[in-house]
Amino acid sequence: MKARHFTYVSHPARVIFGSGTVGQLPDEVDRLNAQRALILSTAAQQGDAEALADRLGPRVAGIFPGAVMHTPVEVSVLATERARELGADVLVALGGGSTTGLAKAIALRTDLPQIILPTTYAGSEMTPILGETSDGQKRTQSSPKVLPEVVIYDVDLTLGLPVGLSGTSGINAIAHAVEALYARDRNPVIEALAIEAIGALARALPRIVAAPRDPAARSEALYGAWLCGVCLGSVGMALHHKLCHTLGGSFDLPHAETHTVVLPHALAYNAPAIPDAMAALVRVLGPDPAAALFALGRKVGAPAGLAALGMPTDGVDRAVDLALSNPYWNPQPLERAGLRDLIARACDGGPPRSL
């Protein structure tokens, strides 16, 4: 075996994991020497944000229930202005990737510390990556300013997550770990975490479909999502994430569902160039990992194709053009014909096909 060469960078973050851990939020605010928390949520989770405000009492400066999908820049600017008006000295985000993204966007502009309480399996709470949408395109950047200082994982916050969203959110998380296995800057630490994470979620998601409030299944899924987030925050991204950012930002497709549809196809496209990653995936997903991920989507009730999510059939060529503009590094060369077939199959809902 030849010697391995790699660089591993660990991002600082305080992680609290368990059941009932939301009760530690006041102590975490105090630990940051903060006194004026701005609580962030979506409109749908405003009631949960208000309950969280009751827990914090006088430490709350206000609530901003305006987080939306794909983090539009205009919402980021509005929320940042609100944080400044209120004199907020800490951001508390309750929700999934949309709310976490908004907290990061405010932190980028203000350098306020963040405490994230995930209610889905998005994983973005563990990354220094922010994606914002403007002029119909989603653009990503990486900065230590957007890495949350504290993440409180409370399994109880996920017990009521609808089965459908649980499934797509979980497969979205799996995508982070899958791409970490063949990232240009991959390393053995992240590879080990990725396989552990994929296995945990692949086991947990069907159990959640069968018993949505099973705390053991929910705990395993949240554990897997945490590790997937670590993977996403530690190494670069490739074709899958480029496609999802393109499709989501340009066609306003739902984030987790888009990841769920695209992942098997992107993996099949890259399969010929990543034999070691495919061998590792076989250990946790079975002999045909791309087909297994496609089947997992059906088990959790996710749509099979992008057309069901609102992708116009005449948008395939535009999506290919966008994917080829400023492309991410990818182990398999990006070729127009192959990409067009990938996106067209993902749009129609057909099974993945390797090159």
Residue range 249-269, pLDDT digits in tens: 889 899 899 999 999 999 999
Helix (H/G/I), strand (E/B), else coil: 119: coil
Q: Which contacts qualify for 240-243: CB closer than 8 Å, 24 or more apart?
A: 240/175, 240/178, 240/179, 240/266, 240/267, 241/175, 241/179, 241/328, 242/323, 242/327, 242/328, 242/330, 243/319, 243/323, 243/342, 243/343
Given 3-state DSSP classes, what are the helix, strand and coil percentages for the chain, each rounded to the nearest 5? Answer: 60, 10, 30
Q: How far is CA 14 from CA 79, 126, 217, in A?
A: 25, 10, 24
Q: How high is the pLDDT of residue 328?
A: 86
Distance, in Å, from the CA atom of 264 to the CA atom of 344, rounded to the nearest integer, reads: 13
pLDDT at 2 over 70: no
Lookup result for tokens 């925050």? 233
Q: What is the DSSP letter of 32?
A: T
- Percent residues over pLDDT 90 in the chain: 85
Residues 51, 69, 223, 189: what is their CA dihedral angle, to the nearest 10 degrees? -140
CATH class of the domain defined by 14-158: alpha beta
Q: Calculate mean pLDDT across residues 227-241.
A: 93
| Confidence (pLDDT) at 249 | 82
Domain with CATH 3.40.50.1970 in the chain: 14-158
Would you place residue 29 in the very low, low, confident or very high pLDDT band (cuts 50, 70, 90)?
very high
Residue 134 structure tokens: 């403007």
Can you tell me the distance from the alpha carbon of 34 to that of 235, in angstroms, rounded to the nearest whole number?
Answer: 32
pLDDT at 163: 95
CA 12 to chain centre: 19
The three-state DSSP-derived secondary structure of 37-61 is: EEEECCCCCHHHHHHHHHHHHHHEE
Residue 248: the pLDDT is 87
Per-residue pLDDT tens for 144-157? 999 999 999 999 99
Domain covering 163-348 in this structure, CATH number? 1.20.1090.10
- CB 297 within 8 Å of CB 261: yes
- What digits encode the pLDDT tens for the residues 297-343? 999 999 999 999 999 989 999 999 998 988 889 999 999 999 999 99
pLDDT of amino acid 355: 63
Per the CB < 8 A criterion, the answer to whether 65 and 91 are in contact is: no
Task: Find the helix or strand (DSSP H, E) in which 104 lies.
Answer: helix 97-110
Report pLDDT digits (tens) over 83-124.
999 999 999 999 999 999 999 999 999 999 999 999 999 888
**CATH 1.20.1090.10 in the chain, residue ranges:** 163-348
